[in-house]
Amino acid sequence: MKLTENMSKEDRKMLNGIFWRSFTVFASRAGATKAHAPGFIYSITPALKRYYKDDPEGRREAMMRHTTWYNITQNVGTFVMGLVASMEKKNSEEKDFDAESIVALKTSLMGPLSGIGDSIFWGVIRVIAAGVGISLATQGSILGPILFLLIYNIPSILTRYYLTYMGFSLGSTFIEKIYANGSMKILNKAASTLGLLMIGSMTASMVKFESKLSVPIAGGKPILIQTYLDQLFKGLVPLGITLLCYWLLSKKVNVNWILLGVLVLAIILGLLGVV
Amino acid sequence: MYKEAFLAALTVFICYGGNWLFGQTMIERPLVVGCIAGLIFGDMRAGIIMGASLEAIFMGAVDIGGALSAEPVTATVLATTFSIVLNVNEKAALALAVPIGVLAAFISMFMKNVVMNLFAPLVDKYAEENSPKKMAFIHYLMWFINYFVFSLITFFSVLEGAKPVQALVNSIPDNLMAGLSATGGLLPAVGFAILMRMLWSKQLAPYFFLGFILVAYLELPSVAVAALGIILVLVTSFKDKQLLDMENKQKELEQRPAVAGPSNSDATKEEQEEEDFFS
């Protein structure tokens, strides 16, 4: 690819270093306030070491400013790592460069990039991979897990690699441009659309509820409640419960309580003989 | 039982710890974990089939920003161990996997958000000391501690839990068992809700329902839904792009001083009309 050819040998060495280290970015999680900051610093260390070679004070400041909260879908986050590398380079060269802008830009990109990354990789590619994998694995074929891993990881690792280079070479001007002219909005909308569509389809196929409740009728066949529910709207209960969970989450209810609630609900329904 | 407990703990460490050490490469998903656990316990086919069932249950269990709905690794390893080694009935093992997964998710969140807070000051300290080496050390140390805890939990669950689990499974009444199985059906809802939370907007909400109907009523496989979705997104994006280009051009023209010739204002008018037509 053109992107990787126009780089100097040192650039490529540094970016490959970031690429490989980025695999471990989520290995640690330093609590709720820093999240994956240590992994981020570890990943961009090749850049820090290179650009602040003769400036220990500069490197110290750089490390300190990156101890703030970091979390981006990891194979998309390499874009920000490349971008940060290019900005740290500028910072080390220009005296009046605003170092705070590095963190500001990094932070502002977390939301949009994670949105795109999560919907494409978690929402779409993983679902397709698992769909193919499950259908083969139910027959006991080892191809199930193997294809699952290949379908997910090939696009994922390629994205991780090329985004590292893109972040570095396109730099912050590119980000400003696509933000300003609105392309970012379109990209975000496209990813969210695709993600929501797939989540809707997963809700229909993966969330399951079947009632065995029946109303006996004197002298006739008992009426199965499930038949009525299906006639009303297929998958009404799964859809309702998913939307309820979403509503609770948007009301800032802790996810643990929602989980417990679902667990208790299902067990009560079981004890009552509804399911 | 020591050998089995050790092997189960090892599987958890490899799959769970490995997944997060090697870039979330999905080796923590039940499809893969089931296969590996089956291989270790000498019945790979059973493990793969078990993994397929659990993958469907834990499909919605995703770890996003530390909000985890169910932890699939411990659940899959324990369920597979119970099923292959203890000959626990497969359905019962599947039903047990769900509460185990939820419990493990609690532990995981407690570890990541509370216990690991203890290390946060060290991160600041090593940054201030300007020491990438120490930073790397603490990074890997936190990784090791977190996943070692899960291995320990698995080890003792198999060691101490085997007999009680066997007894428990035999004594669970049918309707409670039905309730536990139903949990597996409803649990993915939480995971999907977490995903929706990030993507939802009023304008895009209809697509969620479209996806639901495509599968619930038309029973399309997920590959078909994805393909339709990509076509849909391309069509709408092209239109959005067109609108955007017009808007940008218009903005540019507006910003230009009014000295421009009449041809220019014509163009603006034309675009204005065109835009009206599209909106």
If asked whether residues A144 and A250 sit together in one domain, one would say: no
Q: Is B148 on the interface with A (CB under 8 A)?
A: no
* Residue B270 in this model has a pLDDT that exceeds 60: no
| Distances in whole angstroms, Cα of residue A225 to Cα of each of A97, A210, A231 | 68, 9, 10
What is the dihedral sign for C-alpha A207, A213, A215, A216?
Answer: positive
pLDDT digit string, tens, across residues A79-90 = 999 999 999 999
Q: Are B182 and A270 in contact (CB under 8 A)?
A: yes
If asked whether residues A157 and A222 sit together in one domain, one would say: no
Q: Are A81 and A18 in contact (CB under 8 A)?
A: yes
Exposed/middle/buried for residue A222 (C-beta within 10 Å: 0-12, 13-18, 19+): exposed
* Residue B268 in this model has a pLDDT that exceeds 80: no
* Residue B64 in this model has a pLDDT that exceeds 80: no
If asked whether residues A156 and A233 sit together in one domain, one would say: no
If asked whether residues A100 and A222 sit together in one domain, one would say: no
* Residue B168 in this model has a pLDDT that exceeds 90: no
**Which residue matches tokens 């991979």?**
A129
| pLDDT (0 to 100) of residue B279 | 47
Q: Are A271 and B180 in contact (CB under 8 A)?
A: no
Q: Which residues from A are below 8 Å from B59, CB to CB? A: 127, 130, 202, 206
Decide if A204 is inside a domain. no
Q: Return the exposure string of B254-279: e unless at least 16 CB atoms fall within 10 Å of the residue's CB, then b.
A: eeeeeeeeeeeeeeeeebeeeeeeee
Considering only CB atoms, A202 lies closest to which of B60, B209, B223, namely B60
Cβ contact, residue pair A127, B146, below 8 Å: no
| pLDDT (0 to 100) of residue A257 | 84
Residues 250-279 of B with CB under 8 A from A: none
Which residue ranges make up each domain of chain B?
2-199, 222-278
pLDDT digit string, tens, across residues B70-111 = 889 999 999 999 888 888 778 778 878 888 888 888 888 888
Domain housing A214: 210-271
Decide if A188 is inside a domain. no
Decide if A192 is inside a domain. no
| pLDDT (0 to 100) of residue B259 | 55
The alpha carbon of residue A224 is apart from the nearest alpha carbon of chain B, in Å, by 17
Decide if A203 is inside a domain. no
- Domain final residue, candidates A155, A172, A189: A172
The whole-number average pLDDT for the span B198-220 is 92
pLDDT tens for chain A, 275 residues: list them: 566 667 888 999 999 999 999 999 999 988 888 889 999 999 999 999 999 999 999 999 999 999 999 999 999 999 999 999 999 999 999 888 888 889 998 998 888 888 888 888 988 888 889 888 988 898 899 999 999 999 999 999 999 999 999 999 987 777 778 878 888 888 888 888 988 998 899 899 888 888 888 888 887 778 888 888 888 889 999 999 999 999 999 998 888 788 888 888 988 988 888 87
If asked whether residues A39 and A92 sit together in one domain, one would say: yes
Exposed/middle/buried for residue B89 (C-beta within 10 Å: 0-12, 13-18, 19+): middle
If asked whether residues A67 and A144 sit together in one domain, one would say: yes
What pairs with residue A35 in β-bridges? Answer: A70
If asked whether residues A141 and A36 sit together in one domain, one would say: yes
Q: Are A167 and A78 in contact (CB under 8 A)?
A: yes
Q: How many CB atoms lie within 10 A of CB A99?
A: 16
Amino acid letter, A239? L
SS3 B118: helix
Cβ contact, residue pair B241, A148, below 8 Å: no
If asked whether residues A153 and A237 sit together in one domain, one would say: no
Half-sphere exposure of B100 (CA within 13 A, CB side): 26
Q: Is B200 on the interface with A (CB under 8 A)?
A: yes
Decide if A181 is inside a domain. no
Q: Where are the beta strands (DSSP E) in chain B?
A: 63-64, 67-68
* Residue B147 in this model has a pLDDT that exceeds 70: yes
More confident residue, A217 or B206: B206
pLDDT digit string, tens, across residues B134-143 = 999 999 999 9
| Distances in whole angstroms, Cα of residue A233 to Cα of each of A33, A76, A83, B216 | 44, 38, 49, 9
| pLDDT (0 to 100) of residue A88 | 93
If asked whether residues A93 and A25 sit together in one domain, one would say: yes
Largest CA distance in chain B: 90
| pLDDT (0 to 100) of residue A43 | 96
The alpha carbon of residue B135 is apart from the nearest alpha carbon of chain A, in Å, by 7
If asked whether residues A99 and A9 sit together in one domain, one would say: yes
The whole-number average pLDDT for the span B129-152 is 94
By C-alpha distance, the chain B residue nearest A198 is B211
Torsion of CA A183, A186, A189, A195, to 10 degrees: -90
If asked whether residues A163 and A250 sit together in one domain, one would say: no
Q: Write down the mean pLDDT value for chain B.
A: 85
The whole-number average pLDDT for the span B18-24 is 93
Q: Is A6 on the interface with B (CB under 8 A)?
A: no
Decide if A199 is inside a domain. no
Decide if A183 is inside a domain. no
The alpha carbon of residue B269 is apart from the nearest alpha carbon of chain A, in Å, by 21
Q: How many domains does chain A have?
A: 2
From A229-238, B31-40, B192-201, the region with the lowest mean pLDDT: B192-201
- Structure tokens belonging to residue A123: 């929402």
SS3 A35: strand
| pLDDT (0 to 100) of residue A220 | 77
The whole-number average pLDDT for the span B188-202 is 85
Say how far apart CA A79 and CA A112 lie, in whole Å. 12
* Residue B30 in this model has a pLDDT that exceeds 90: yes
Count of A-B CB contacts under 8 Å: 398
Say how far apart CA B147 and CA A72 lie, in whole Å. 21
DSSP secondary structure, B125-168, as one string? HHHHTT-HHHHHHHHHHHHHHHHHHHHHHHHHHHHHHHHHHHHH
| pLDDT (0 to 100) of residue A12 | 92
If asked whether residues A167 and A217 sit together in one domain, one would say: no
DSSP state of B117: G
